[in-house]
Amino acid sequence: AQSVAQPEDQVNVAEGNPLTVKCTYSVSGNPYLFWYVQYPNRGLQFLLKYITGDNLVKGSYGFEAEFNKSQTSFHLKKPSALVSDSALYFCAVRDSNKAAGNKLTFGGGTRVLVKP
Amino acid sequence: DAGITQSPRHKVTETGTPVTLRCHQTENHRYMYWYRQDPGHGLRLIHYSYGVKDTDKGEVSDGYSVSRSKTEDFLLTLESATSSQTSVYFCAISDGTGGGLGGYTFGSGTRLTVV
């Protein structure tokens, strides 16, 4: 079975400081990894994904994430956080093995609060 | 979100009544999913479909059924609503490749309250 862990329920950071949201995963095959963001009373918006290739993935709004196979991690980062980055962030994984089914499994979410 | 709509957006219903939520897509994607979102649990998969009339259970399928008679529509039915099914329900679509803009596109959600 595939799973995702986001160890922090909330991350607090001052505006202008670096932001990191942690994610670790477990799949039997190779992972497809995703980050989504959710603003209040909204659906999920795609930020970035790792399918294959370069371990450092760049996405929307200045976010990036680094795939680390040995640590089974896919941490989300932003060099300089903005107050508008305050939201709920979800990491998700899908097993690239088709036999596992095309199902996306989410972590519990991390709330990011960026203070002015 | 473009290409996927959910209805209704909000619903209040009484315990024991049946409820049907609708997801409609215009992307002709093969895969459709129903998730529920609850605080502390993230999104959990209820049911999914990998083609017309082809569906399978997710991790929290008890008390829910689904139907997909057309590519574009995926219905989620709460057969007899309970208070534990108060949640926000999201539909998602995928072309199955893991690629595309984000692999999965989500609807705006349906907020269901069972009283």
What gap in Å lies between CA A32 and CA A61, rounded to an integer? 21
What gap in Å lies between CA B108 and CA B91, rounded to an integer? 8
Assess contact for A71 and A24: CB atoms under 8 A: yes
A101 touches chain B (CB under 8 A): yes
**What pLDDT is attached to residue B101?**
43
- CA count, 13 A, side-chain hemisphere, B19: 28
Residue owning tokens 């036999």: A99
Residue owning tokens 């290739």: A53
For chain A, the C-alpha Rg in angstroms (whole number) is: 14
**What pLDDT is attached to residue A111?**
96
Residue B94 phi/psi, 5-degree rounding, is -150, 145
What gap in Å lies between CA B17 and CA B80, rounded to an integer? 5
- The arithmetic mean of pLDDT across residues B23-36, rounded, is 94
Pairwise CB contact (< 8 Å): A90 & B43? yes
- CA count, 13 A, side-chain hemisphere, A6: 29
- The arithmetic mean of pLDDT across residues B10-39, rounded, is 95
Residue B96 has pLDDT above 80, yes or no: no
A79 touches chain B (CB under 8 A): no
Confidence of residue B2 (pLDDT cuts 50, 70, 90): low
**What pLDDT is attached to residue B42?**
87
Sheet holding B4-7, edge to edge: B4-7, B19-25, B73-78, B64-70
Query: In whole numbers, what is the pLDDT of chain B averaged over residues?
Result: 91
A89 touches chain B (CB under 8 A): no
Pairwise CB contact (< 8 Å): B33 & A104? yes
Pairwise CB contact (< 8 Å): B58 & A49? no
- The arithmetic mean of pLDDT across residues B63-83, rounded, is 97
Residue B35 has pLDDT above 50, yes or no: yes
**What pLDDT is attached to residue B100?**
44
Pairwise CB contact (< 8 Å): B42 & A46? no
**What pLDDT is attached to residue B46?**
97
- The arithmetic mean of pLDDT across residues B42-46, rounded, is 93
pLDDT mean values, one per 10 residues, chain A (116 residues) = 93 98 94 92 88 91 96 97 96 82 88 96
Confidence of residue B58 (pLDDT cuts 50, 70, 90): very high
Percent of chain B clearing pLDDT 70 (strictly above): 91
**What pLDDT is attached to residue B97?**
65
